[in-house]
Amino acid sequence: MLTFNLIVAVCENFGIGLKGELPWRLRSELKYFSTTTRRRENPEKQNVVIMGRRTFFCIPENKRPLFGRLNIVLSTTLKRSELPDNVLLYPSLETAMQHLEQSDLKQQIEKVWIVGGSGVYKEAMASPRCDRIYLTEILKDFECDTFFPKIPDDFKEAKPDPFLPLGVQVEDGIRYVYKVLEKQTILD
């Protein structure tokens, strides 16, 4: 079964967005997002980023689709013609994952990343396909109108990946930390 990871930055109130944008400006955190979702061990494979319609259109036009990754948008209201030709469109997360598994794409994919928004994150965390959450905790409150859903109790902090920056990071006076949470499987 093809699995996926989530990647998200949240502030203290678990906010992730305000009026279709990030509530903070952290260049190094955006670089971390880009590097992490593009990192591959096999240069002949590619990574996939899956997002909802609003998340896709919140990406600045000159930055979308996200470069160096296969972009998939989830929507039941968008028409195929409303997206660039190189962006795939599916009505649900599970439909997208089944298509990736059953198509020739499966041999070309290294990692699948869920990159937002709130509803897609909630659906993803409930899925048996979900492996890890790459969580950036911003140690400050920001005004937000979009929030990350409650993380289920079966996610526990895991040993960080070797490329994960350790300790408290600081940029423009804003402190934040990178964490990895792993879904624990309960065995009878």
Active site residues: 22, 29
Rounded Cα distance, 187 and 146, in Å: 35
Q: Count other C-beta atoms under 10 Å from residue 164's C-beta.
A: 14
